[in-house]
Amino acid sequence: MNIPCILIPVLAGLICGILGYLLGKMNSKNDDSLSASLQADLDACKAHTKNLNTRISNLEAELAAKPKASPQSFAATAPLILFDSESAFAILGKKVKENDLKIVEGIGPKIEALLNSAGITSWQALSEASTEKLQSILDAGGENYAIHNPSTWPKQALLAYQGKWQELKDWQENLLGGKE
């Protein structure tokens, strides 16, 4: 029997075993740095979310403190705005139907159906809806809708209602999924 043929595999196995043992020891020094890093990132995200929610609450409180015009006074002072599909097409480059809520960045067919079932069927109605009302409609729609942020929807709807297509287009180019 040839001794080198037996000795080489035994030595290779022994060396691999020792290296595996040493590498295992090096990696198992109770080093939870990855876990700690992920936990720190999670805590930072939670703190950021809390700060954003506080800012939203403060802005909503400021908005609630402002005097609101009654719907009757708005109707009396608001001019009747006629929809011009040609100018919308010329600026947006796509055919737009009057009161199509999907023209608002962040609103798709399913969210439009939710809003329609809640009585918001026009750009004017959407522009007059509060962010809180829109968020409650989304929350009632379920988890898939509650993640959307409707804070820019009333302003976009107002621009569409007023026929300010270029302003709407410019603003939407800076939005990501309906968010600033």
Give the integer Cα–Cα distance in Å for 161 and 123.
Answer: 5
Residues of the chain where predicted confidence (pLDDT) is lower than 70: 1, 28-32, 68-80, 176-180
Closest CA to 130 of 107, 153, 114: 153
pLDDT of residue 79: 58
Q: 30-68, pLDDT tens digit by residue? A: 666 777 888 888 999 899 999 888 898 888 888 888 776
- 128 in Cβ contact with 154 (< 8 Å): yes
pLDDT of residue 75: 47
pLDDT of residue 64: 83
pLDDT of residue 118: 93
pLDDT of residue 30: 61
Hey, is 176 helix, strand or coil?
strand
Give the integer Cα–Cα distance in Å for 138 and 118.
Answer: 10
pLDDT of residue 126: 94
| CA-derived radius of gyration, the chain | 30
Structure letter (DSSP) for residue 106: T
